[in-house]
């Protein structure tokens, strides 16, 4: 496949199709897949038979690695908190001119220091947007505010 040889997420070389696509954080995928599973439970006697192994494994994975779990909360409250989380992410995206892919990796892995963040997403430093350490630190502080919704 052409272009795959140059593929490198560290430099944000993930192909036009995925750069423009909507990236999903594990917590978002968790909501989508759980919702679908619930729908299947209503329409089928045995939902475990009607979902693929890919679906099961993905659901298990995003539940395990979702940063924003709140199992005791009522679904409506969870949705509202989720909306606030998403809006905060959108503001961060706009303010720091991150690509969606970069924001999602940061959101999934939650680095605590600037060094960690640069190690996880080297492209935030190199894509020529004059991201100095101070700006990156500010961005991480903004991201960590979202942890309050855990």
Is the CA virtual torsion 16, 22, 26, 29 positive or negative? negative
Q: Which residue in the set 38, 48, 57, 84 belongs to the binding site for another protein (CB under 8 A)?
A: 57
Q: Cα(144)–Cα(69) distance, rounded to whole angstroms?
A: 15
**Three-state SS at 92:** helix
Q: Which residue in the set 16, 17, 46, 134 belongs to the binding site for another protein (CB under 8 A)?
A: 17
Q: Which residues contact 126 (CB under 8 A, 6 or more apart)?
A: 11
Q: Which residue in the set 85, 98, 99, 104 belongs to the binding site for another protein (CB under 8 A)?
A: 104
Which residues inside 21-40 make contact with another protein, applying CB under 8 A? 21-26, 28-29, 32-33, 36
Backbone φ and ψ for 8, nearest 5 degrees, come out as -160, 105
Which residues inside 66-85 make contact with another protein, applying CB under 8 A? none
| Residue numbers at the binding site for another protein (CB under 8 A) | 1, 4, 7-11, 13-14, 17-18, 21-26, 28-29, 32-33, 36, 51-55, 57-58, 61-62, 64-65, 101, 104-105, 108-109, 119-121
């Amino acid at each position: 496949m052409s272009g795959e040889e140059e593929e490198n997420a560290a430099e944000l070389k993930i192909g036009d199709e995925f750069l423009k696509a909507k990236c999903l954080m594990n917590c978002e995928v968790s909501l989508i897949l759980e919702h679908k599973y619930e729908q299947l439970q209503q329409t089928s006697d045995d939902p475990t038979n009607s979902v693929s192994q890919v679906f099961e494994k993905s659901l298990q994975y995003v539940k395990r690695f979702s940063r924003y779990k709140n199992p005791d909360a009522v679904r409506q409250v969870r949705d509202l908190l989720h909306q606030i989380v998403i809006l905060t992410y959108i503001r961060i995206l706009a303010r720091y001119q991150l690509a969606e892919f970069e924001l999602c990796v940061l959101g999934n892995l939650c680095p605590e220091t600037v060094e960690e963040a640069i190690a996880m997403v080297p492209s935030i430093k190199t894509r020529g947007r004059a991201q100095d350490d101070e700006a990156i630190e500010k961005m991480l502080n903004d991201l960590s505010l979202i942890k309050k919704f855990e």
